[in-house]
Amino acid sequence: MLLDPLVELALSARASDIHLEPGLPAGLRVDGQLRTAGEPQKGSALLAMARELLEGELWPSFLARRSADFARSVRGVRCRFNVFCTARGVGMAIRMLASHQPTVEQLNLHPDLKSIVRATHGLVLVSGPTGSGKSSTLAALVEEVNRSERRHIVTIESPIEYPLVPRLSFVRQREVERDTPSFEQGLKDALREDPDVLVVGEMRDAETMRLTLLAAETGHLVLTTLHSATVGEALARIASAFPAEIQANICAQLADSLVAVVCQRMRFFPNKGLRAPECEVLLASTPVRAVVRQGHFFKLQTALETLGREGCFTFQRYREWLDGRTDWFVPTPSSETVADVAEARPVRAPPAPRKKKPTEPRPGPAHELTPGESGVIAIDDADDDLDGILSELEGK
């Protein structure tokens, strides 16, 4: 099953993700549920697909790290790829992104979120578990700035998921490992590039968090994402990433720079046939800053419940707003956000490929992976070429 038919199948099923693994049928995530389609994938076909996708500088990096993150357009659809080695061979996780830049309206987010990016400086966190649509919400907030403000926007992403088209703003996008070696270096460079808005794709370690807080303190509006289940957990995770002796200083930095925290999860609406983000929204106010400064993040839940008039939302209050909403944006084939809005449709697999007579694999150069020609690959299959693949990788 080639990549183009797979993407077409995912589009027709309104799937958000594609999972490929040697010896298993393709997995499609539709409405949050994983379904399988088609015949088991051949390890040789997935390896050949990986080599084609990773041609050039990415291939040596993949050999060294045994994984690679990048984005490509397939059949006009922007896709985010994670290619990696598994016990069976080379696997892939493919996220289907929007075919266009998402907006707050198209993601069915609360319109009050637009006010968050009107701040001239400070920190905006978008958090949530994996697959909750954080990247799309972040992109929608950046697009709101792009359409309404004359600012200089610099993004540091890994990879670039939504290419921005400059409108009122001047936009620069940098991809980690292609345009800059790391988030840390990209952040250090950005502070010398006169940005008004700085977008950090994800805060993954303490050094990235430190530089992000520094940028928010020095007069920039910084937007970034973090994995967490609640707004309190997001802020606590930042503080706990640092040694205990400086956590009080980090909490003070957070209190001084914080603009808002948006924590979201996806919810399926059967009557609409789509999914939309369900959010917890914390806006920085004097009581909130006092709680953050003290590091009493467990008290933020009480603040969310009592500061509804200030624009804060608990998950329950936001759910009530969603249930009473009447002006839904329902995607059409020409304007849909595939990664965040999925509709239930039956998954139909394409015709099975014609079976070919297996051939013996030819040995390749010692520094490269050699595609095998085996069909279904079992973890303990003594005839597959996985041992040889891993042996060659170990020698790098």
- Per-residue pLDDT reduced to its tens digit, 128-149: 998 888 999 999 999 999 999 9
Mark out the alpha helices in 66-205 (DSSP H runs): 134-148, 183-190
Same domain, 200 and 302: yes
Same domain, 21 and 82: yes
Q: What is the mean pLDDT of residues 224-243?
A: 96
Same domain, 239 and 316: yes
Domain finish residue from 292, 323, 354: 323
Higher pLDDT, 121 or 96: 121
Q: Is residue 329 part of a domain?
A: no
Domain finish residue from 323, 356, 374: 323
Same domain, 24 and 142: no
CA 101, 103, 106, 109: dihedral to nearest 10 degrees? 140
d(CA 339, CA 325) in angstroms, rounded, equals 22
Same domain, 316 and 349: no
The dihedral built from the CA positions of residue 8, 14, 16 and 17, taken in this order, carries a sign that is negative
User: 125: domain range?
Assistant: 111-323
Query: Is 263 in contact with 229 (CB distance < 8 Å)?
Result: yes
DSSP state at residue 307:
-
What pLDDT score was predicted for residue 273?
79
Same domain, 178 and 219: yes
Q: Judge whether residue 268 has pLDDT over 70.
A: yes
Query: Is 238 in contact with 148 (CB distance < 8 Å)?
Result: no
Query: For 166-218, how does the pLDDT look when each residue is reduced to its tens digit (9 = 90+)?
Result: 999 999 999 998 899 999 999 999 999 999 999 999 998 999 999 999 999 99
Q: Coil, strand, or helix at residue 271?
A: coil
Q: Is residue 339 part of a domain?
A: no
Mark out the alpha helices in the chain (DSSP H runs): 3-13, 43-53, 58-65, 134-148, 183-190, 206-217, 231-240, 247-257, 286-294, 300-306, 315-323, 386-394
Same domain, 118 and 74: no
Query: Is 83 in contact with 47 (CB distance < 8 Å)?
Result: no
Give the angle subtended at the CA of 165 by the CAs of 119 and 196, to the nearest 5°: 30
Same domain, 85 and 149: no
Higher pLDDT, 16 or 358: 16
The number of domains in the chain is 2
φ and ψ at residue 298, rounded to 5 degrees? -65, -20
d(CA 36, CA 350) in angstroms, rounded, equals 12
Same domain, 164 and 299: yes
d(CA 335, CA 347) in angstroms, rounded, equals 21
pTM: 0.76
d(CA 362, CA 358) in angstroms, rounded, equals 12
Same domain, 256 and 388: no
Same domain, 238 and 136: yes
Same domain, 186 and 268: yes
